[in-house]
Structure 1
Amino acid sequence: MLIDETVRCIREEGFSAASARHIIERAGVTWGVIQHHFGDRDGLLTAVIDSAVDELVAALEELATSNPPLDTLAMVEGTWAAFATPKAMAGIEILTATKALRTELANRHVTRLATALEVLRARLDIGDDGRHAEAAEMLLWTTPVAMMIANMFATEPLDVSTAQNAVARLIDRDRDSARR
């Protein structure tokens, strides 16, 4: 419940509003509940990030193992949907705002995400030549993250379909180029 309330607080009011006091007021609990389950506010924020990465990796793994296999556009759309969940967006906002947590969690989570993205890349049959494979993996995660950040500042939700189509076309073109 506290993780979900922290996510809602960050998504509705921004990271700066997510003080421990404000979160416990919103959740209707005491400070002792946070201390018991998470230790302190950083522990709660870490739990939000851990939960977000767990859900993100599970979604990416599900995309990679879909049967029948997804075409490139469906894979891109699914990847974007995985990165655009409220929890993933709150996790990105936390990591953007907190250098200490970003440093602490980077290795553990980057490794898990990289592994999930490698499986997606393999499913897209881009090949293993470093330049093409790396470019596809970068497009699959950096573009939706950039759009998430852009949506944080936009007054109206941004239409991502044009960007998704462009990413899918770039991946397909890159795959075709790598095969030649």
Structure 2
Amino acid sequence: MIDETVRCIREEGFSAASARHIIERAGVSWGVIQHHFGDRDGLLLAVIEDAVDRLVGSLEALSDPAHEMNTDELVRATWEAFANPKAMAGLEILIAAKGLRAGLDTRHLERLGAALAGLNERLDTGDDHAHAAALSMLLWTTPVAMMIAEMFATLPLAVGEAQKAIANLIDQHR
């Protein structure tokens, strides 16, 4: 159900993701959603939580100092962590349904905050901690902004040049 909800939102947009439409696409009954999620909001929260869990796992792996990679690889991997269908669907839900935010388990958001802090630590190699924090924020907010732009773009956006620019900026200021 989570995967079908993600596909529905990515293919047709949040407004098309009614409970009726999702169950039609999935070929199940309303009872399946009720049994596993309670209602449509429960299903949407499950999509967000699954997206956050996957994102946190990716960011924790990227934050691991034993995971050797150059700056270009770090930027691409961070981009991939944020710009995947589940993360994009989760973000679209959060944008469209602000009321659902209150239902999120705070542990998910705390883990996300810790994972982002770990990414910051990976970039913090000098005495200028504020600069490292700004670079870290740029590293993860740029793919999030591109995710939002993709919601409105008709063609896939070329991200290679943006990734190179971020990698160059990080390398110049480390």
Give the TM-score of the pair, scaled to structure 2.
Answer: 0.91
Q: Hey, what's the Cα distance between the residues in 2 that align with 1:37 and 1:128?
A: 50
Give matches, 1:56-95, under 5 Å.
56-65=55-64, 67=66, 69-95=68-94
- Whether the 8 Å contact between 1:126 and 1:174 is mirrored in structure 2 is no
Task: Give the structure 2 partner of residue 42 of structure 1.
Answer: 41
Equivalent residues of 1:126, 1:132 under 8 A apart? no
Count of aligned positions: 174
Mapped partners of 1:126, 1:104: distance in 2: 37
Write out aligned runs for 1:93-172 (5 A): 93-105=92-104, 107-127=106-126, 129-172=128-171
> Compared with structure 1, are the counterparts of its residues 168 and 8 closer, same or farther at alpha carbon in structure 2 (3 Å cutoff)?
same
The question of whether the paired residues in 2 share the 8 Å contact of 1:5 and 1:27 is answered with yes
CA offsets, 1:49-75, max 9 Å, x none?
Answer: 000011111111122237451111111
Q: Distance in 2 between matches of 1:3 and 1:107?
A: 20
- Any unmatched runs of 5+ in structure 2? none
Q: C-alpha distance in 2, partners of 1:68/1:44?
A: 34
CA distance in 2, matches of 1:127, 1:22: 52
Greater Cα offset, 141-150 or 102-111: 102-111
> Could you list the runs of 4 or more consecutive aligned residues of structure 1 that deviate by over 4 angstroms after TM superposition?
127-130
Letter in 2 for 1:138: M
Amino acid in structure 2 at the alignment position of 1:91: G
Q: Deviations over 1:15-51 (max 9, x none)?
A: 0000001001111111111011001101000000000
8 Å CA contact 2:123, 2:135 repeated in 1: no
Between 1:158-167 and 1:127-136, the stretch displaced more is: 127-136
- 8 Å CA contact 1:96, 1:102 repeated in 2: no
The Cα shift of 1:3 comes to: 0.2
Coordinate RMSD, CA, aligned = 1.8
